[in-house]
């Protein structure tokens, strides 16, 4: 069995996140793809958006494939969310499964700074999407270093999408453009709960 893990704060999930997961699904063709919104990410401030609403917005990912499911496991753990603990849980509950971890290109460049990154490389193959499409040389150099440390790095061709969740939260992307950058399911949760200054 192949299991793909896609984690993040998802505050909110946008079409760039959708493109990344779509590309990873096409490359790996997993039996299960688990979208895992973080409780409190170790490298960011705690999200001001309640975890239950971030979880609800992540329902948008299930439209991509019947194998996609959304899990509240990290949220239920409380405290900071470390990806290595999630991989250990999946390894323990799915003995013999091949694990894949879907990450963005920026995360690949800093992966060796992650908590227990060597253990993560032993447990899962990394599936990386380039957001810009122009940084392949630096990405392949970073991948080579991780592979020298015993890891396996796969590249998925994701359509570049110039959007960040922080741009939506900060108002840099005006509300009139939200239908263009947000999946309908996420947009419905945002409007129902008046998130990010929505009316």
More confident residue, 28 or 139: 28
More confident residue, 157 or 126: 126
User: What confidence score (pLDDT) does residue 60 get?
Assistant: 98
User: What confidence score (pLDDT) does residue 45 get?
Assistant: 60
Q: Give the C-alpha separation, 35 to 11, whole Å.
A: 13
When pLDDT is averaged across residues 103-114 and rounded to a whole number, the result is 91
When pLDDT is averaged across residues 113-123 and rounded to a whole number, the result is 96
Q: Is the pTM of this model over 0.75?
A: yes
Q: What is the pLDDT of residues 164-194, one digit of tens each?
A: 899 999 989 999 999 999 999 999 999 999 9
Domains of the chain: 2-197 (3.40.50.620)
Burial 108-120 (b: 16+ CB within 10 A, else e): bbebeebeebeeb
């Amino acid at each position: 069995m192949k299991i793909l893990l896609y984690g993040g704060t998802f505050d909110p999930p946008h079409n760039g996140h959708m493109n990344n997961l779509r590309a990873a699904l096409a490359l790996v063709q997993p039996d299960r793809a688990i979208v895992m919104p973080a409780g409190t990410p170790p490298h960011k401030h705690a999200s001001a958006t309640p975890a239950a609403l971030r979880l609800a917005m992540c329902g948008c990912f299930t439209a991509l494939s019947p194998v996609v499911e959304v899990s509240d496991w990290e949220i239920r753990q409380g405290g900071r969310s470390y990806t290595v603990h999630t991989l250990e849980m999946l390894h323990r509950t799915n003995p013999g499964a091949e694990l894949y971890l879907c990450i963005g290109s920026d995360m690949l460049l800093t992966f060796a700074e992650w908590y227990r990154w060597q253990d993560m490389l032993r447990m899962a193959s990394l599936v990386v999407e380039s957001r810009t499409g122009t940084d392949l040389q630096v990405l392949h150099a970073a991948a080579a270093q991780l592979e020298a440390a015993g890891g396996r790095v796969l590249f998925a061709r994701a359509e570049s999408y110039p959007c960040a969740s922080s741009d939506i939260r900060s108002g840099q992307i005006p509300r009139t453009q939200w239908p263009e950058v947000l999946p309908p399911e996420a947009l419905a949760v945002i409007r129902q709960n008046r998130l990010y200054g929505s009316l």
